[in-house]
Amino acid sequence: MNSIRALIVDDSSVMRKIVERSLRQAGMDLKLVLEAGNGAEALAALQENEVDIVLCDINMPVMDGLEFIKQLASVPNAKGVPVVMITTEGSEAHVLQAISAGARGYIRKPFTADQVKDQIIPILAGKS
């Protein structure tokens, strides 16, 4: 797989590190990893940078993950960038809410590197 650029959005810096480690354990060659602590920070990061995928929590202060997805279309750099939710909110209603908002994948915490891989590789393959 080619090098990828990822944006990881979570209000926990520990979870951001764990998601990055899971991507590496899943065999991803990370050319660029950006981090944001909420949806607003993520939108700001995408104004300045292009990424191949966004991995995003739902429950965050300032701007949550669902609102972030809704506003993503307004960022020229981010059009068509797939977003995968990584969250403790695992009910079917939350999954449907995220998918209808535009999420391409959904990973429930706790998760393994294999689960991250299973979600992300098909999405990145479909994008290329």
Partner 1 sequence: MTASTATPAAFGTPQNWTPLLEQAAREVFEMMLGSALTVPEHTADETPDITSMVGLAGELCGLLSIRCKRAAAMLMASKMLGVEPAQVGADMSDAFGEIGNMVAGNFKNKVPGLGDGCMLSVPTVVTGTDYVLHSNGATPAVELRLLFENMPIVISLQVSE
Residue ranges in contact with partner 1 by CB under 8 A: 11-15, 17-18, 21, 59, 61, 87-94, 108-112
Query: 2: buried, middle or exposed (CB in 10 Å: 19+, 13-18, 0-12)?
Result: exposed
Instruction: Write down the least CB distance from residue 18 to partner 1, Å.
Output: 6
> With respect to partner 1, which residue has the nearer C-beta, 93 or 125?
93
Instruction: Write down the least CB distance from residue 122 to partner 1, Å.
Output: 21
- 82 prior amide bond cis, ω within 30: no
Listed residue (67, 68, 4) closest to 36, CA to CA? 68
Instruction: Write down the least CB distance from residue 9 to partner 1, Å.
Output: 15
Cβ neighbors of 71 (< 8 A, separation 6 or more) are 39, 43, 63
> With respect to partner 1, which residue has the nearer C-beta, 27 or 47?
27
> With respect to partner 1, which residue has the nearer C-beta, 47 or 112?
112
